[in-house]
Structure 1
Amino acid sequence: MSGVIGDEVVRAARGWIGTPYLHQASVRGAGTDCLGLLRGVWREVLGAEPEAVPAYSRDWSEPQGDEALWRAARRHLHVTGQAAPGDVLLFRMREGAVAKHLGLAAEVGARPTFIHAYSGHAVVESPLSAPWARRIVARFAFPERS
């Protein structure tokens, strides 16, 4: 990702810090989940969302083992290798489970961090510690503006 759009993504994501966790929501300051955070940052940085998101349950994709979030990310984002600030990180929270947690790469000084929302917490910026880093299964960059 270019530094300029990456910086905009990080700045926008940090504006969501403190937003309460609310399943399926995407409203800065009112409520969001991890996908809602990504959607909200997309709207702030790039404009209209590229597709409507269908309703989803808390265990969505798990019973079928369907990597729906990964496929959606590949439709709208660019696969990248080493994450740069502003890139999207896709996490598998348990061995053998579908990947269904998202965060946005950032950094504090030289320390890697990521901004995310997860159940029981507000949007937070967490250190990208070894336990979190081990859960990353894919990295994506936002598309450039048209």
Structure 2
Amino acid sequence: MNERAVELARGWIGTPYVHQGSARGAGADCLGLVRGVWRGLYGTEPEAAPAYTADWGETGGGEPLLAAALRNLVAVAPDAHEGPGEVLLFRMRDGAVAKHLGIRAGLGEAASFVHAYDRHGVVESPLSAPWRARIAARFRWPEP
């Protein structure tokens, strides 16, 4: 399942960044990428994504992306072994709401993750120390 998630995520590389998009080749944001990989793994999404603005979660309080991940994915303990295909949830700065997602691809010295990044589209980036420091939670895909 996890290797398949990496394969599917890499198939989205080159998709342009489109806010609220989730169409491989046409446009996706970070949530849209994860939704697309979910559809590739399971066929249908577990719940409809609500409309959201670029500052979602920053207004109104709460952690909507974290709450959705906890409802639909399997949380990984912070000290657990890292595995390919994990969904990574990031806080872009200390104390901020968690609002960026990626899918772990490479491990060890080749650590990387696939994500949709504004002005860059879907890319595979090194999971460098600055990115690692932003990880708020890790998740595995549920068994079908």
When normalised by structure 1's length, the TM-score is 0.93
- How high is the sequence identity, in percent, across the aligned residues? 61
What letter is aligned with 1:130? A
What's the offset of the Cα at 1:110? 4.4
Say what the alpha-carbon RMSD is for the aligned residues: 1.2
For each residue in 1:41-77, what CA deviation from the matched residue of structure 2 results, as whole angstroms up to 9, or x when unmatched?
Answer: 0001111000011100000110223200000000000
Q: Deviations over 1:57-116 (max 9, x none)?
A: 000110223200000000000001343100100000011110000000010674210000
- The TM-score with structure 2 as length reference comes to 0.94
CA distance in 1, matches of 2:23, 2:55: 22
Q: Does the alignment pair 1:111 with 2:110? A: yes
Residues 73 and 108 (structure 1 numbering): CA distance in 2 closer, same or farther, change over 3 Å?
closer
Q: Which residue of 1 aligns with 2:55?
A: 59
- Confirm or deny: 8 A CA contact 2:84 2:107 kept in the other structure: no
For residues 1-146 of structure 1, what are the structure 2 equivalents within 5 Å? Answer: 5-81=1-77, 82=80, 83-107=82-106, 110-145=109-144
135-144 vs 79-88, greater mean Cα deviation: 79-88
Question: In 1, are the aligned partners of 2:83 and 2:107 still within 8 Å (CA)?
Answer: no
Length, aligned pairs only: 141
Q: Does the 8 A contact of 1:65 with 1:97 survive in 2? A: no
AA partner of residue 83 (structure 2):
A
Deviation track 1:12-68 (CA, whole Å, cap 9, x = no partner) reads 000000000000000000000000000000001111000011100000110223200
Contact 1:26 / 1:37 at 8 angstroms: preserved in 2?
yes
